[in-house]
Amino acid sequence: MQIQQLLFSQGFGTRRVCAGLVQQGLVEVAGRLIDDPGLELDPEGLVFRVQGVDWLYQERAYLMLHKPAGFECSHKAGAWPSVYTLLPAPLRERGGSAAAGVQAVGRLDQDTTGLLLLSDDGRFIHKLTSPKHHVPKVYEITLRHALVQKQIDALLAGVVLDDDPKPVRAAACQASGPCALSLTLTEGKYHQVKRMIAAVGNRVEQLHRSRIGDLPLPADLAPGQWRWLTADQLQALAYRG
């Protein structure tokens, strides 16, 4: 693959901009400055440097982000900043534009924290968000009022939300404190956790997603930080590309 095409595929701008980066001496491979935009390279496993920052070529982007509160999962954020501003520009612009960059795998409300996956692989996004695949997502909830057993029983049995007569059930539900609950869902409706908790007579004060499938949010990934998913982590999500 030509170095200018490689840079374009990784989100470093238009083909003209990528050629310009090379011609301006801003791209290095194996410690050597590249000055020919048409230089052919094997992209597999290639580490390259652009403006002093090292990058590993990735045919597809699979990321995890520890979403902090106060960010919207939208490219066109309104009252709150976009969660995509927490990512480097090349990840937002892979494929030539922001519209083609990485996308959130499902959404978290602006006041919800925790594990958020992002990718530019449509099959990956569909597999993890489609209700028919039943991918479990675990939420840690702080409640306004003390939790009682009948609320847990109701969440496991199923509650009716105002937009669907069919009850929605928690796949798992257990108390983690007097006003704390760990809740597992395998589908994703609009504001589902908050609405389910309201349906049993309580209220969500804080909401944090701690796990998707068999992938937990790493303890050493601070709010606002992101990292690439490893092959083992993709396997924990039962995805092989």
The Cα-based distances of 160 to 22, 147, 167, 203 in angstroms read 58, 19, 4, 16
Active site residue 109: yes
The Cα-based distances of 209 to 41, 45, 135 in angstroms read 41, 32, 13
- Active-site position among 109, 111, 162, 220: 109
HSE at residue 9, side-chain half, CA atoms within 13 A, is 13
Q: Which two tokens stand for residue 231?
A: 């092959």
Residue with tokens 């519209």: 99
Task: Give all strands (DSSP E) within 109-241, no chain letters.
Answer: 112-119, 137-143, 159-161, 164-168, 172-177, 180-185, 204-212, 215-216, 226-228
Q: Which two tokens stand for residue 114?
A: 């925790």
| Separation between Cα atoms, residue 91 and residue 35, nearest integer Å | 24
Best CA proximity match to 98, nearest among 85, 80, 108, 81: 85
Burial class of residue 27 in the structure, from the number of CB atoms within 10 Å of its CB (0-12 exposed, 13-18 middle, 19+ buried): buried
Active site residues: 109
